[in-house]
Amino acid sequence: MRLIALVDMDYFFVACEELRRPEIKNKPAIVGSDPKQGEGRGVVMTASYVARKLGLRSGMPLSMAYRIRKDTIYIPQDFEYYEQMSAKVMTLVKVYADKFEQVSIDEAFIDISKRAGDYDDALELMRKLKQEVKDKLGLPCSIGISVNKLMAKMASEDAKPDGIKAVKEEDAAGFLSRKPVGELYGVGRKTGKMLEEFGYRTIGDLAKANPVVLVERFKSYGAELHNSANGVDDSEVQENWEVKSIGRERTFERDTSDRHEITKAIREMSKEVGDELKKGGFAFKVVTIKLRYSNFEETLKSRSLTHRSVEPEEISQVATQLFDKYAETGEELRKVGVRVSNFVKYKGQKRMAEYA
Ligand code: DCP
Ligand code: CA
Ligand code: CA
């Protein structure tokens, strides 16, 4: 039996912000693009669930968000930070996957057919994953489980927030039928509107529609719409994620030339990189550092080891040597990165095939 899960983080950007500013928890907080002191045309990227209850939505102009609630907490976006959190999430998720496909910053499909024999197994496994993400990162997510990607996605939407939902093949039609057609995975606002104009109000309406008519109205997309509405999706979980290297980067709060601060960052990142390597069962041979200066100039410097190593200490040592050798003395750094590459597998972990 095919068992696919979709893991999607809840109110992701704001949830990330709550981690580093606990004081905004349970308050109407939004993350958005630069409002430029009221002059900008910024929009809400995401809103906490508290904010959503008050009517704040992603895509809404910031000006409108303020009109709705004066005490809305506005947080400017920090993509770099969300990407770091995303990478941490994905590292955890991958461990649970036979096949892994990240589809956006905060969501991934995983094929768990081999490791889960049935829905009970799958639910147990996904509960464990969800708990691990909560315990290790403090972030809530929702997970949908079903026979294909489409249904897994639809189930995850139903599970939100902070839930897990499994929809079996035999229940798929019933599960979909009463939902508004606009909620069907893959249907955007424009298509949704067109579908409604043709009188397809629910996914069930679309499922019962004559496919020939749908093809007339929506061209080749019509057949796909009909399949989707019937919960049919044969597409595989695509392992697009190919690791050739593992790295971390850190931007300093304030540009710095303090060797102590920089080498400390290098040590911390080396440890994280080393931990990730160990999970994947890899040894590395090349260490690279990236130095970005205040003026945004960037240098990459690498050193090849004469042996394969798995030791975080070794990453840290080589990266620090590279820094000492190549950093411009006294120049302030904006960002520093550590990366290892040229892998070889030293552990036969089947599920980590994607690293090979
Ligand atoms: N995002 C964005 N612009 C959009 C939609 C989303 O920048 N138009 C960003 C902000 C979100 C993140 O992508 O936090 C993930 O998008 P989701 O659609 O998964 O929405 P959320 O994670 O915010 O909320 P939900 O709990 O509904 O998944
Ligand atoms: Ca999300
Ligand atoms: Ca998402």
Q: What is the pLDDT of residues 270-299, one digit of tens each?
A: 999 999 888 877 888 899 999 999 888 888
DSSP E strand boundaries for 241-297: 245-256, 282-293
Is the pLDDT at 349 greater than 50? The verdict is no
CATH topology of domain 175-229: DNA polymerase; domain 1 (1.10.150)
CATH topology of domain 4-11+80-172: Alpha-Beta Plaits (3.30.70)
Catalytic status, residue 197: no
Instruction: Please compute, for residue 213, the number of CA atoms within 13 A of its CA located in the half-sphere on the CB side.
Output: 10
Q: What is the whole-number distance in angstroms between the Cα of residue 162 and the centre of ligand 3?
A: 13
| pLDDT (0 to 100) of residue 39 | 62
> Does the reported pTM lie above 0.75?
no
| pLDDT (0 to 100) of residue 284 | 87
Which residue, chain included where needed, has tokens 């796909």? Answer: 224
Ligand nearest to the CA of 109: 3
Distance CA 147, CA 165 (A): 12
Same topology, domains 14-75 and 245-355? Answer is no
Among residues 255, 241, 278, which one has the least CA distance to residue 328? 255
DSSP E strand boundaries for the chain: 4-9, 29-32, 44-47, 73-76, 99-104, 107-111, 141-146, 164-166, 245-256, 282-293, 298-309, 333-341, 344-345
Averaged pLDDT for residues 231-251: 83
Distance CA 207, CA 240 (A): 31
Within 6 Å (CB) of ligand 1, which residues are found? 8-13, 45-46, 58-59, 105-106, 160-161
Distance CA 315, CA 321 (A): 10
First-residue to last-residue Cα distance in the chain: 27
Distance CA 192, CA 169 (A): 25
- The pLDDT tens digits for 187-220 are 988 899 999 999 999 999 999 999 999 999 998 8
More confident: 184 or 309: 184
Is the pLDDT at 355 greater than 60? The verdict is no
Nearest CA to ligand 1 atom 3: 45
Q: pLDDT tier at 348 (50, 70, 90 boundaries)?
A: very low
Is the pLDDT at 122 greater than 50? The verdict is yes
Mean pLDDT of the chain: 90
| pLDDT (0 to 100) of residue 341 | 87
Averaged pLDDT for residues 8-21: 98
Is the pLDDT at 12 greater than 80? The verdict is yes
Is the pLDDT at 34 greater than 80? The verdict is no
Is the pLDDT at 162 greater than 60? The verdict is yes
CATH topology of domain 14-75: MutS, DNA mismatch repair protein, domain I (3.40.1170)
Cα→Cα distances 84→90, 116, 188, 315, 349, Å: 10, 29, 29, 20, 25
| Tokens standing for residue 345 | 């597998």
What is the CATH code for 245-355?
3.30.1490.100
Q: pLDDT tier at 350 (50, 70, 90 boundaries)?
A: very low
Percentages (nearest 5) of helix, strand, coil residues in the chain: 45, 25, 30
Concatenated DSSP letters of 203-251: HHHHHHS-HHHHHHHHTHHHHHHHHHHTT---PPPP-----SEEEEEEE
| pLDDT (0 to 100) of residue 42 | 81
Q: pLDDT tier at 352 (50, 70, 90 boundaries)?
A: very low
More confident: 243 or 130: 130
Distance CA 22, CA 281 (A): 35
Active-site option among 17, 18, 101, 107: 107
Residue spans per domain, the chain = 4-11+80-172, 14-75, 175-229, 245-355
